[in-house]
Chains A and B, each alone.
Chain A
Amino acid sequence: MLYLRATFFVIGGPDYLLADFGYIGILLIIAVLFTVSTLLLPLTLALFGIVPKKSNPTKVSTYECGMETIGKTWVQFNFRYYFFAILFVAFDVLTVFLYPWAVNLKGLGVYGLAVIVVFFAILMVGYVYAWFKGALEWK
Chain B
Amino acid sequence: MEIGDFRLLAPEISLLGCVLLVILLDLFIKQKRILATVSIAGLIVSAGFTLVMWGTPPVVILSRTLAVDAFALFFKFLFLVVAALIILASQDYVNKFERFQGEYYALVLISAVGMMLLAAATDLIAIYVALELSGISLYVLVGFLKDQKSSEAGLKFLLLGAVASAVLLYGMTLVFGFTGRTCLMCIADFLQGMPATGILDNLALLLGLILLVAGFGFKIACFPFQMWVPDVYEGAPTPITAYLSVASKVAGFAVILRVFFVALGAPDWMSLNWGMLFAILSAITMTVGNIVAIVQSNIKRMLGYSSIAQAGYLLVGLATVGMATGSDTSGQSGLIFFLMSYAVTNLGAFIAVIAISNKIDSDAIDDYAGMGRQASLLAVALTFCLISLIGLPPTAGLIAKIYIFSGAVRHGLLWLVIVAVVNSCISAFYYLRVVKVMWLGVPPSKEKVPSSWALRTALAVCCLLVLLLGVVPGSFVSIAETATRFFGS
Contact = CB atoms under 8 A, between A and B. Distances in A.
Contact of B2 (A111, A122, A126): A111
B125 A129 contact: no
B367 interface: no
A1 B23 contact: no
21 contacts: A1-B62, A1-B63, A1-B64, A1-B65, A1-B125, A1-B126, A3-B63, A111-B2, A111-B3, A122-B20, A125-B20, A125-B23, A125-B24, A126-B23, A128-B24, A128-B27, A129-B23, A129-B24, A129-B27, A132-B27, A133-B27
B12 interface: no
A132 B123 CA distance: 37
Looking at chain A, what size class is its interface with the partner chain? Answer: 10 to 19
Interface of B is mostly: helix
Interface in B414-466: none
Interface string A10-27: 000000000000000000
Interface of A is mostly: helix
Contacts of B23: 125-126, 129
Nearest to B183: A1
A133 B125 CA distance: 33
Nearest to A3: B63
Interface in A110-139: 111, 122, 125-126, 128-129, 132-133
A131 to B, nearest CB: 9
B2 A1 contact: no
A125 B16 CA distance: 12
A64 to B, nearest CB: 44
Contact of A1 (B3, B20, B24, B123): B123
Interface in B6-29: 16, 20, 23-24, 27
Interface string B61-78: 011110000000000000
Nearest to A126: B23
Interface string B116-138: 00000001011000000000000
A3 B23 CA distance: 33
Contacts of A1: 62-65, 123, 125-126
Nearest to B66: A1
A54 to B, nearest CB: 56
Contacts of B24: 125, 128-129
Given A2-B63, A122-B16, A129-B27, 7 more contacts: A1-B125, A1-B126, A111-B3, A125-B24, A128-B24, A129-B24, A132-B27
